[in-house]
Amino acid sequence: MDNLDLDVLKTALAWTESGRRATLGTVVRTWGSAPRPIGAMMAIRDDGQVIGSVSGGCIEDDLIDQVKQGKLAAKLPESVRYGVAADQARQFGLPCGGTVEMVLEPLTPQSDIRGLLAELEGRHIVRRSLDLSTGIAQRRVATGADVLSFDGQTLVTVHGPKYRLLIIGAGQLSKYLATMAIPLDYQVTVCDPRDEYQEQWHDLPQVTMTKEMPDDTVLAMNLDRNSAVVALTHDPKLDDLALMEALKGEAFYVGALGSKANNDKRRERLLEFDVSAEELKRLRGPVGLDIGAKTPSEIAISILAEMTATKRGVTMTRSKSDSEPTLVSSAGCAN
C-alpha cells in the first residue's frame, strides 16, 4: 500500500475520533486518460479539509462542496461519476475526456478503520468489503487473487504493503529482473557482497543495494507473504545461504537459477543444512517458466511470469505430449 494511502486512512480516523465527520473517497473505475489510478484515495473533513487525491486536483473542489453540503454520501456510501459528458470533462479538467468513478463512504464505527489500520501495522494484506446499502465494512486476510472490484453494491479493496523482491546477486540478469519488477509494484532489494558488481546499479535509484551476507539480509528483511526471493549468483556459497533462510519463512516465492542437475545438487546440500524436506518443496528451481528463454531479458520475463502466476494462485502443469506449459487456475480450469 502506498504511504499516501496509509496517511489518508490515519488522518481520516483521527478526524472522526476528534468528533469531526469524514468521508473517504476511493477511485473504482477510470476511462480514458484519468489522472489518478484505480484505488487512489482521499478523505474529506466536514469543514472541507482534505488529504489525498482522486483526480490530481481537477474535481476535488466540486467533491468538497458536495460533501460539505451533505449532497453526497451524507448517511450511506454511494458511487459518483465525473466526466461522462464532454462538457463535464471540460468543466472539471479531465484530460482527453477521461472519466472517473469513485465510491464515497461516510466513516462511522461500522467502517472499522481502526481495525484495518491495526492489521496494516502488522504488515498483513487485508481484503475489505464495503456494503453500500448498509455502510458495514468487513475484512479478512487477502489472497493473491484478491483485487479491487466494484459491482455497484459492494466495494472490495485490498490493503497492505507492496510486494517485495529480494534478488541475490547483482549481475546482468539481476538488473533486467529488477528493472522489470519495479513497474509490477515490487520494492526491489539486491544483495551481493562482492564489490565488483556494485558499479552498474547507479542508474537504478529505486533499487535498494546491500553488501550484507545473503542469509543476514533475508533475516533482516523479515520476509512475509508479500515477499519473493530469487537467487541468481550461480555461487552456492551465496545462493544457498539465502535459500536456507528463505525456505523457512513465509515468502510466497523462492527460486534459484541453474539447470535441473544443479538444482538437484542444491536440494541435496540444503537438506544437509537444516532445511526440511517439506520446506524444500517450496523451492522453484530451475527458476521461471519454461518458455524457451535464452537471453537475460527473456529469463527475467520467465521468472516474473512464474512469480505472477504464484501470486495469483495459478499453478503451472506440463502436458505429456507438449513441451509448452499449460495454465491451470486455482479452480482447476485449463487455459
- Kindly state whether residues 198 and 272 are assigned to the same domain: yes
- Note the pLDDT of residue 34: 56
- Note the pLDDT of residue 79: 96
Of the residues 62, 87, 121, the one at which a domain ends: 121
Q: Which domain holds residue 174?
A: 163-315
- Kindly state whether residues 168 and 65 are assigned to the same domain: no
Q: The cell 495469483 sits on which residue? A: 312
Closest by CA to 188, choosing from 210, 211, 171, is: 210
- Kindly state whether residues 199 and 60 are assigned to the same domain: no
Does 234 fall in a domain?
A: yes
Does 322 fall in a domain?
A: no
- Kindly state whether residues 112 and 188 are assigned to the same domain: no
- Kindly state whether residues 213 and 306 are assigned to the same domain: yes
The CATH number of whichever domain residue 302 belongs to comes to 3.40.50.720
Does 326 fall in a domain?
A: no
- Kindly state whether residues 54 and 173 are assigned to the same domain: no
Of the residues 102, 121, 140, the one at which a domain ends: 121
- Note the pLDDT of residue 21: 96
- Number of structural domains, the chain? 2
d(CA 100, CA 25): 12
- Kindly state whether residues 38 and 168 are assigned to the same domain: no
Does 242 fall in a domain?
A: yes
Q: The cell 507473504 sits on which residue? A: 225
Does 135 fall in a domain?
A: no
- Kindly state whether residues 199 and 296 are assigned to the same domain: yes
- Kindly state whether residues 84 and 226 are assigned to the same domain: no
Does 325 fall in a domain?
A: no
Does 126 fall in a domain?
A: no
pLDDT in tens, 189-202: 999 999 888 878 88
248-251-253 Cα angle (round to 5): 110
- Note the pLDDT of residue 56: 61
Of the residues 98, 121, 144, the one at which a domain ends: 121
- Note the pLDDT of residue 146: 83
- Kindly state whether residues 192 and 307 are assigned to the same domain: yes
Does 334 fall in a domain?
A: no
- Kindly state whether residues 180 and 266 are assigned to the same domain: yes
263-267-273 Cα angle (round to 5): 140
- Note the pLDDT of residue 322: 38
- Note the pLDDT of residue 93: 56
pLDDT along the chain (335 residues), means of 10: 78 97 94 71 94 78 89 94 64 62 96 95 88 97 85 94 90 96 89 87 88 95 92 93 95 95 94 93 94 94 96 67 39 36
- Note the pLDDT of residue 326: 41
Residue 217 contacts residue 193 (beta carbons within 8 Å): no
- Kindly state whether residues 211 and 93 are assigned to the same domain: no
What single string gives the DSSP state of each residue in 212-233? S-HHHHHHHHT--TTEEEEE-S
